[in-house]
Amino acid sequence: MPLLDLLEKYGRMLVLDGAIQLTERDEASYQEMLAFLPLNSHPNPEKVLVIGGGDGGILREVAKHPAVKEIVMCEIDDHVVAACKEHIPSLASGFSDPRVTLHFGDGMEFLGSHAGKFDVIITDASDPVVPDDDEAGKDGPAATLFNDAFYARLHEKLNPEGVLACQVGESMWLHKDLIKGLMKKSRELYPVVEYAYTCTPSYPCGQIGFILCSKNPTLNLRVPVTKWTSEEVKRLKLKYYNTDIHSASFVLPTFMTEFLSSD
C-alpha cells in the first residue's frame, strides 16, 4: 500500500527501527486491553507501575481508572515521549496527570533501585523479536526485558494480591514457541498465568498478545472483578474494551490451546 494511502487510512503512526508501533486508527485495541485486563482483574488497583509505553497510550488508559491513586512510569527513551507529545497528542494526555511520576532509564535498573511495591505492573516494551530473513525473527532491542532476571524482579515488586500484564510479541501465528516459553517461565513464579490477545490490524497477522499473572491463587483473570456498564464504557470514551471482550480475549483457537497444553 502506498504511504499516502496508508496514512489516510490509519492516521499518524509511531515507527521505531522500521517497525510500526502504533497507528491512530487502531491503537485503542492495544492500549485499552493491556491496561484494563489487569486493572479490572484487581479488586483495588491503587498503585500502578508502567515499564515502557513511551508513546503515552497505556498511561492515558490507566489514568482513566477511578481506583488508581498513583502511577509510576519508567521509559528508557525520552525522545519517544517528546515525539508523541508533539506529533500524536491524542496519546499523551496522561503525562500531565498529577498522579503520574515519570522516570527515564532502564526498566531492569529501575526495578532494582525502587523501594516500593505495586498492585498492578504493566510492561509495554518493544517486541522481544523483530523481523528478519528468518521467519522467527531475531532478538529485538528490548529482549533483556523478557529474561529470567527481569521476570524475577517484576515478581518482587508486586504486592501479594498483585496482577502483572506483559506484552509478549506479535502474534500466536508467528511466535507461539516464544509465548509458550514465557508462560512456562511465568508459571515458575505465579500460581495464576493466562494468555490473552487483541486484534490490531496494523500489526503482523493483525494480532498481538499479553501474558497476565497473579500472586493470588484464587483469582480468575478471565472474569473481571470490575465490570463496567455500557454507560461507563461510553463515559470513559473506550473504543475497544468492555466486560464481554475482557473474557473473550482469553478464548484461544484450538491449535493454540493444544500447543500451550502440550509438553
CATH of the domain at 34: 3.40.50.150
Quick check: is 140 in a domain? yes
Q: Which three cell numbers stand for residue 65?
A: 481508572
Locate the DSSP E strands across 81-215.
Answer: 100-104, 118-124, 129-130, 138-139, 158-167, 192-199, 207-214
* Nearest alpha carbon to residue 61 among 38, 83, 44: 38
Quick check: is 6 in a domain? no
pTM above 0.75, yes or no: yes
User: Which residues lie closer than 8 Å to 135 by C-beta, 6 or more apart?
Assistant: 174
Residue 63's DSSP bridge partners are none
The per-residue pLDDT for range 46-98, each reduced to its tens digit, is: 999 999 999 999 999 999 999 999 999 999 999 999 999 999 999 999 999 99
pLDDT at res. 19: 84
Quick check: is 47 in a domain? yes
Q: Which residues are catalytic?
A: 124
User: Which residues lie closer than 8 Å to 255 by C-beta, 6 or more apart?
Assistant: none
The answer to whether residues 29 and 199 touch, using CB atoms and an 8 Å cutoff, is: yes
Q: Are strands 138-139 and 129-130 parallel, antiparallel or unpaired?
A: antiparallel
The answer to whether residues 88 and 24 touch, using CB atoms and an 8 Å cutoff, is: yes
Quick check: is 237 in a domain? yes
Domain hosting residue 92, numbered range: 24-129+136-218+225-261
Quick check: is 185 in a domain? yes
Q: Which three cell numbers stand for residue 238?
A: 473506550
Quick check: is 153 in a domain? yes
Quick check: is 3 in a domain? no
The tens-digit pLDDT sequence of the chain (263 residues) is 445 455 778 888 888 888 888 999 999 999 999 999 999 999 999 999 999 999 999 999 999 999 999 999 999 999 999 999 999 999 999 999 999 999 999 999 999 999 899 999 999 986 655 444 444 444 555 555 567 899 999 999 999 999 999 998 779 999 999 999 999 999 999 999 999 999 999 888 999 999 999 999 999 999 999 999 999 999 999 999 999 999 999 999 999 999 999 97
CA atoms within 13 A on the CB side of 145: 29
The answer to whether residues 226 and 16 touch, using CB atoms and an 8 Å cutoff, is: no
The answer to whether residues 177 and 169 touch, using CB atoms and an 8 Å cutoff, is: no
**What is the C-alpha separation between 254 and 247, in angstroms, rounded?**
17
**What is the C-alpha separation between 81 and 185, in angstroms, rounded?**
31
Q: How many domains does the chain have?
A: 1
The per-residue pLDDT for range 81-93, each reduced to its tens digit, is: 999 999 999 999 9
Quick check: is 8 in a domain? no
Question: What backbone phi and psi angles, to 5 degrees, belong to 89?
Answer: -60, -20
